[in-house]
Amino acid sequence: MPVEIVTGNHAAGYTLAVAGEANRNARGATCGIYPITPQTEIVEKVAAFPFTKGRVVPVESEHSAMGVVIGASLGGARAFTASSSNGLAYMVENIMVAGFYRLPVVMVAVNRTLGPPWNIWSDQGDTLMLRDFPWIQLYCSDNQEVSDLTLMAFRLAEDHRILLPVLVSMDAFIVSHTQQETNLPSQELADQFLPELDLPQRMRHDDPKTLGGMVWPDTTTTLRMEAHEAMLRVPEVYEECRQAFRDVFDRDPGAPIETFHTDDAETILVASATVATTARDVVRRRRASGEKVGLVKMRMFRPFPEEALRTACASASRVGVLDRDYAAGLGGVWWQDTRAAFQGHREDLVIQDYLLGIGGGDVTPETVDRVLDDLGTREKAGPPEWADIRREEVLA
Amino acid sequence: MSTVIEEGGMPEGTGILTSIPQIPLTEECILRPGNTNCGGCGMSIGLTMLGRALAEANDTAMLAVPACCGAVTAGAFPTTSYGAPTVNTTFASAPAVAAGLAAVRDMNDESGQVIVWAGDGGTYDIGMASLSAAAERNERIIYICYDNEIYGNTGGQRSSATPPGARTTTTPEGKAEEKKDIIGIMAAHGIPYAASLSMAHPADFRRKLQNAFDTDGMSFLLIHSPCPTGWKSEPADSVELVRLAVRSGLFPLYEVFEGKRWRINDEPDGTDPVEYFKRQKRFKVEHLDLDGIRRGCAQRFARLKKLAEVFPG
């Protein structure tokens, strides 16, 4: 398929639909849809797609959108949806259920600030709130990544060693509504890349089972352990999917974490999504002037790629985590997990949190410069820094 | 495979079967023997009757069960009392999950019913939005509400299906509000079929299930479902109680087709509602506005009768 100039939402909606269509010779595709800014264009795209064997169910809420996805997946269909912000919050109960039922469904989320007060701009607080459920989480920086990782998500989710739902996230407007050149998958190549879905726990008349009835604590714990073990298998299976993707599409969808000038870096920034793109430009410029700075772009948040992160930061003495999110009473979510990844491994490492771009604030190169200036002088980490607000100006 | 279910086969007042309905011998049934449900549980009787109807129709079903007594009916893993593929859904999601299952069934040209089996809490209260939406989309599902007029699974709290005067743990002095007219609400969606069912009228019950099986689109069935634990009644009185509710006009038996045509299936016979109330300790008869209740029954039935006359089904 030729390269097209499309928005991130278009890339997501089209790729979800093509992935669903790729299951037409098996049990088809089903999608529960409900609008919310800024993801609405995704479900509009899916609703307009001429599925051979597919049904798009326009429901009355996000909670029911995921309900339809759960039912369709249990029926053996490839099932997916999209949401954002308060819509995800409303959907939470069923998001959890899809994870606990180990359903290989895919959801594209457009990261939008949770309200009130209402704010439609980018902030990762919505998807990071889902961090404790058995969902794989991937974060995208551009439209190509949105399309590629959406397709990867299905193959990864449906692998029988995994059987976990996957969330693919992008920044509100900065990606969702920005047009970029994007190499969208043709149906033919999507068919090649995605095997037909074969769900082991599909509901069947010839083998009646009760799903989700009462269990004792030891069974509950066993199920949690099994989900955890599936999570631990993700890096290996992801690499297989990545290789298969390269074979079919002749391009790399990217590793769980991507490193930039980290080999000899003394100071490393950890960032995700479009903040990582801005940070990469700053790091490139400061490298050119001889500073030993580097960047780790986090593409995967769950399972948290601890080992890869430790390896990437082996030479560093200082790590600054850029969080476009805030967990009340503690600090940034990426920072918490980064700290945990190094605990017991690198007690010498300064791991400082920078809260920026909250509520969709523009994360500029100047902000990242200020972060690096601050980080470079630190002998030890302090409490999370609100890196870009001018509260006095806001309140004035 | 023959079944004998005679109208009136259960003698009034005794709760004892004299002519025992033959339960068809099948390899599998929806509600397996050995479940731990309460004695006299209307929901369990309803499930058994549903199982018989499916067996007679040579049909199958998948069940979507939200939080309710039907969810604990399965018992503890790895055993289950359900002989049909069953999924436990979140409290408000059964219609949405059923819609997903039905979509895949239909895309793949498969047979079998997709049935929601839900209590009144999941229907009248928390599930109202997803139920209304499934009805508006006319999903090819059968929604069965076994209405025991209480949050039974949590120990007996009021729902919007609890009748006025009934004492629950959250209305210790008796509920002040009316019960929602759920069939009116569902019929107003214009779904192909909505009906009230009583297990004291098994032939009518069976016929209505068959109507639902044969309906292309959404059916809503309301079963008046005695709960001896919550109603503080004798388990052996369960069937008799719902019979009294029909005869007194408290729970009229009727059908609504496409929200446009009405059919009454049984006329009240003049039985005083007090006969129903006095056999349940959830009611304090001396605190009930009996005249008001009698007037309400008469008005409700008169209205239904007028609808059935002007717009016959």
DSSP letters, A4-20, are EEE-HHHHHHHHHHHHH
Contact residues, chain B, for A64 at CB < 8 Å: 92-93, 95-96, 129-130, 133
What average pLDDT does the segment B121-125 reach?
A: 98
Percent pLDDT > 70 in chain B is 91
Q: What is A3-249's CATH number?
A: 3.40.50.970
A3-249 and A257-395: identical CATH topology? yes
- At A186 the pLDDT is 97
What average pLDDT does the segment B101-127 reach?
A: 98
Answer for the pair A321, A334: CB distance below 8 angstroms, yes or no.
yes
- At B5 the pLDDT is 40
Judge whether A6 is closer than 8 Å to chain B, CB to CB: no
- At B242 the pLDDT is 98
**Nearest-CA residue of chain B relative to A60?**
B133
Range A257-395: architecture per CATH = 3-Layer(aba) Sandwich (3.40)
Query: Exposed e or buried b for every residue in A357-395, given b needs 16+ CB within 10 A?
Result: bbbbbebeeebbebbbeebeeeeebeebbebbeeeeeee
Cβ contact (<8 Å) for B129 and A61?
yes
User: Is the pLDDT reported for residue B17 higher than 90?
Assistant: no
Beta strands in B38-188, from DSSP E residues, in sequence order: 61-65, 86-88, 113-119, 142-147
- At B33 the pLDDT is 85
d(CA B202, CA B205): 5
Cβ contact (<8 Å) for A208 and B72?
no
User: Is the pLDDT reported for residue B97 higher than 90?
Assistant: yes
What average pLDDT does the segment A153-158 reach?
A: 98
Contact residues, chain B, for A58 at CB < 8 Å: 137
User: Is the pLDDT reported for residue A300 higher than 60?
Assistant: yes
d(CA A267, CA B197): 72
What average pLDDT does the segment A384-389 reach?
A: 91
Over the stretch A360-382, which tens digit does the pLDDT of each residue have? 999 999 999 999 999 999 999 99
What average pLDDT does the segment A224-252 reach?
A: 98
Cβ contact (<8 Å) for A77 and B75?
no
Say if pTM beats, i.e. exceeds, 0.80: yes
User: Is the pLDDT reported for residue B9 higher than 90?
Assistant: no
Over the stretch B139-156, which tens digit does the pLDDT of each residue have? 999 999 999 999 999 999
CA distance A241 to chain B (A): 27
Contacts of A362 (CB under 8 A, 6+ apart): none
Please name the member of B77, B87, B102 whose beta carbon is closest to the beta carbon of A215: B77
Cβ contact (<8 Å) for B105 and A75?
yes
- At A64 the pLDDT is 98
* pLDDT band (50, 70, 90) for residue A392: confident
Over the stretch B213-251, which tens digit does the pLDDT of each residue have? 999 999 999 999 999 999 999 999 999 999 999 999 999
Over the stretch B257-296, which tens digit does the pLDDT of each residue have? 999 999 999 999 999 999 999 999 999 999 999 999 999 9
Cβ contact (<8 Å) for B108 and A67?
no
- At B144 the pLDDT is 98
Query: Exposed e or buried b for every residue in B220-235, given b needs 16+ CB within 10 A?
Result: bbbbbbbbbbbbebbe
* pLDDT band (50, 70, 90) for residue A142: very high
Q: Considering chain B, what is the average pLDDT of its residues?
A: 92
User: Is the pLDDT reported for residue B16 higher than 90?
Assistant: no
Taking alpha carbons only, the member of B211, B104, B273, B109 closest to residue A75 is: B104
Contact residues, chain B, for A210 at CB < 8 Å: 74, 80, 82, 85-88
Q: Mind listing the domains of chain B with CATH numbers? A: 42-310 (3.40.50.970)
Over the stretch B30-79, which tens digit does the pLDDT of each residue have? 999 888 899 999 999 999 999 999 999 999 999 999 999 999 999 988 89
- At B7 the pLDDT is 45
User: Is the pLDDT reported for residue A311 higher than 60?
Assistant: yes
**DSSP codes joined into one string, A241-276:** HHHHHHHHHSS----SEEEES-TT-SEEEEEEHHHH
Contact residues, chain B, for A97 at CB < 8 Å: 89-90, 93
- At B21 the pLDDT is 52
Residue A96 buriedness (CB in 10 A; 0-12 / 13-18 / 19+): middle
**Nearest-CA residue of chain A relative to B127?**
A64
Cβ contact (<8 Å) for A55 and B112?
no
CA distance B185 to chain A (A): 17
* Domain residue limits, chain A: 3-249, 257-395
The pair of structure tokens assigned to A203 is 């509901």
What are the residues of chain B with a beta carbon less than 8 Å away from any beta carbon of chain A?
A: 28, 60, 62, 64, 71-72, 74-77, 80, 82-90, 92-93, 95-108, 112, 129-130, 132-133, 136-137
- At B22 the pLDDT is 53
Please name the member of A30, A65, A97 whose beta carbon is closest to the beta carbon of B90: A97
* pLDDT band (50, 70, 90) for residue B1: very low
DSSP alpha helix (H) spans, B172-236:
182-187, 202-214, 228-231
* pLDDT band (50, 70, 90) for residue A395: confident
Contact residues, chain A, for B112 at CB < 8 Å: 205
Cβ contact (<8 Å) for A94 and B100?
no
What residues form DSSP beta bridges with A138?
A: A168, A300
